[in-house]
Amino acid sequence: MFSNIRWRIAIPYVILILAAMGGLTLYLSRLARDTQLADLEANLLIGARAVAESAVPLLANPEGDALDALAREWSALLEARVTIIAPDGTVLGESHEDRSQMDNHLTRPEVQQALAGGQGSSIRYSETVNYDMMYVAVPVTTAGGERLGVVRVALPLDQIEENVSRLRQTIFTATLLTAMLAAMIAIAIAERTARPVRRLTELARRMAAGDLDARLYRAGRDEVGELARAFNHMADQLRDQVQDLVTERGRLAAVLENMADGVIITDDVGRVRLINPAAARLLSVGPADSAGRSFAEVARHHHLIELWQQGCSQGQERVATVELDRQGTFIQMIVTPLTSAGVQTCLVILQDLTRIRRLETVRRDFISNISHELRTPLASLKAVVETLRDSALDDPPAARRFLDRADQEVDALTQMVQELLELSRIESGKVPLRLSPTAVASVVAPPVERLQTQAERNSLRLVAELPAGLPLVLVDADRVQQVVANLVHNAIKFTPDGGEIRVTAEWQPGQPEVVVQVRDTGVGIPAGELERIFERFYKSDRARSGGGTGLGLAIARHLVQAHGGRIWAKSREGKGSTFYFSLPVADGTGQGDS
Ligand code: ADP
């Protein structure tokens, strides 16, 4: 309680005032007592001298109790005790006591002094009255100088003591009042001084709790006011800096949150301190429950853990590409040891290389495929040309057959080059679509009709059955015919004699797209290949032996996607395949197909 500033200021004040007033009380009471004693002594001396003068004739001839009577007379006058003593110390007259009972008074100090030097005084405790008494004595001397005795006058000091004690009490009361007043003033002053300090403390607490807009108003011109202004200034600076930091942190968090690369920071004991969503996604963990766990628990892959351990423990950056066996994902991992403020942490960056790897594979496959595709017709051409040169020219019918073969090979090459060019133009967006509301029948019927002969040649039944009530679709009819032709052509190729190919379409009222299906009863596609058949040059091993470039489905996919649709396939090996693609319904066109 007394540790606060109010009491720290007030208590010394009060102690100081009490000490000063105490000293003053002592000094004043002593001074008052001394002055009163001096006055009393002077008065008693005058009285004693008067008694001495009147006692001269009786002392010259002492007789009976005359001196007792004189003592009593003066005692009544002076209101003091009067004693007349012979030069040998015998008491000759006494106002208050029985003289016969009194001892010799020669040894009394005031009597000694009076006999020696003309007057004497002494203060002693009197058993008779239980008070200190003042005794004053003067010698009784004749005109001739003969010493006849000593007159002593005495008064108790109770009155003086009483006066002094009253004075002391008054001063004490005044001291107490003054001390109380001083304490109140001191408390008020201390309170005034402490209030701004308290406000500052409160402000600092609010700021520490996060209220950075808290300020101190009504700052005076004194030192505390200066302090308050400096504090406000500091608060402004602090708020600005904190805001800058918050903005900076927000930016960094947004970058970390949205960056494609995974970022993980581990602490000196290998616990994950930070993990961004990309890293959590790559490692298939939840970002919330990963923080605080060990890196090994989060990574769960021995190559990643080894690399991280090497990078962190050896203090050297490590880079490696790791294939996560879980999803066939390729990750490039960069481990960078960081040391800040003497604490060793580790930064791990994970880059998803899966897409790049896949693109690389596609590119490699593309080159290998195109070389392969070119080599077969070229080899065949070469063989034809060599045969012609060596012998066949002499046999015109054989020469014509070889020339026909050569012509077919050149056609196949030309088709492949054309398809490649087409694909590259579609892929690069150089084929503009002329969209118009079109009946589904207009895009399905023409290619089916065109391929009918080829189907019949292969003893296949090719039918197109469109339900009634299909809406118009918003398409470039030529391009969609190309897609249908491609799918039907494939169906013919991959369906053994006697099979059936059926082209239909489906639409649910209210749906934004019509789905066209090309179903065959052919060889089917293995489940593992279904995903890949839409890639450029992809051909199943079975198909390799036959014709075809492996580009048809890639072109079909690009064309469908350019219309905003999707293309996919379902198949059961040995049972047949169904290819589906969707076309967008033309808005507000009503029903135009039948
Ligand atoms: P291709 O010129 O070889 O037909 P595509 O891109 O049209 O090239 O087809 C790619 C591969 O998809 C084919 O080689 C084949 O393996 C498979 N495929 C396509 N359509 C069918 C189908 N209807 N039945 C079985 N396999 C098919």
Domains in the chain: ranges and CATH: 5-163 (3.30.450.20), 259-352 (3.30.450.20), 357-427 (1.10.287.130), 436-584 (3.30.565.10)
Residue 99 vs residues 109, 120, 584: alpha-carbon distances, Å: 19, 21, 153
Q: What is the pLDDT of residue 227?
A: 82
Work out the mean pLDDT of the chain and round it to a whole number: 87
For residue 488, the SS3 value is helix
Q: How far is the CA of 282 from the centre of ligand 1 (A)?
A: 34
Answer for the pair 147, 140: CB distance below 8 angstroms, yes or no: yes
For helices 354-390 and 396-427, angle between their N-to-C axes, nearest 10 degrees:
160
Query: Which pLDDT does position 544 carry in this prediction?
Result: 46
- What is the tally of helices (H) and strands (E) in the chain? 15, 17
Cα 175 from Cα 106, distance rounded (Å): 47
User: Which whole number is the average pLDDT over 134-142?
Assistant: 91
Three-state secondary-structure class, residue 226: helix
Give the mean model confidence (pLDDT) for residues 112-121.
88
Residue 491 has pLDDT above 90, yes or no: yes
User: Cα(542) to centroid of ligand 1, in Å?
Assistant: 10
Tokens linked to 26: 């002592």
Predicted local confidence at residue 363, as pLDDT = 80
pLDDT in tens, 503-542: 999 999 989 999 999 999 999 999 888 888 998 777 776 5
The structure tokens listed for 473 are: 């679709």
For residue 330, give both structure tokens. Answer: 């390729």
495 within 8 A of 532, measured Cβ to Cβ: no
Partnered with residue 329 across adjacent β-strands are: 324
Residue 582 Cα to ligand 1 middle (Å): 19
pLDDT at 6: 72
Question: Which one-letter amino acid corresponds to residue 76?
Answer: A
**Ligand 1 pocket residues where CB is under 6 Å:** 490-491, 494, 520, 522-525, 533, 538-540, 543, 548-554, 577
Give the dihedral of Cα atoms 476, 477, 480, 486; nearest 10 deg. -140
Our mutation pick for probing the ligand 1 site, out of 420, 493, 549, 573, counting the most ligand atoms within 8 A of Cβ, is 493
Residue 546: the pLDDT is 56
With contact defined as beta carbons under 8 Å apart, do 67 and 45 qualify?
A: no
pTM of the predicted model over 0.75: no
Q: Give the rounded percent of residues in the chain with a pLDDT score beyond 90.
A: 39
Q: From the CA of 540, give the closest atom in ligand 1.
A: 16
* CA–CA separation, 136 and 47 (whole Å): 9
Residue 448: pLDDT band by 50, 70, 90 thresholds? Answer: very high
How many angstroms is it from 498 CA to the middle of ligand 1? 19
Q: Summarize the confidence of residues 98-125 as an average pLDDT.
A: 88
DSSP state of 585: B
Are 591 and 469 in contact by the 8 Å Cβ rule? The answer is yes
Q: pLDDT digit string (tens) for 295-323? A: 999 988 888 999 999 888 888 889 999 88
Position 150 scores a pLDDT of 93
Give the range among 166-175, 268-277, 483-492 with minimum mean pLDDT.
166-175
Place of tokens 């628990």: 297
> Are 582 and 566 within 8 A, CB to CB?
yes
pLDDT tens-place string over residues 51-82: 999 988 888 887 778 888 899 999 999 889 99
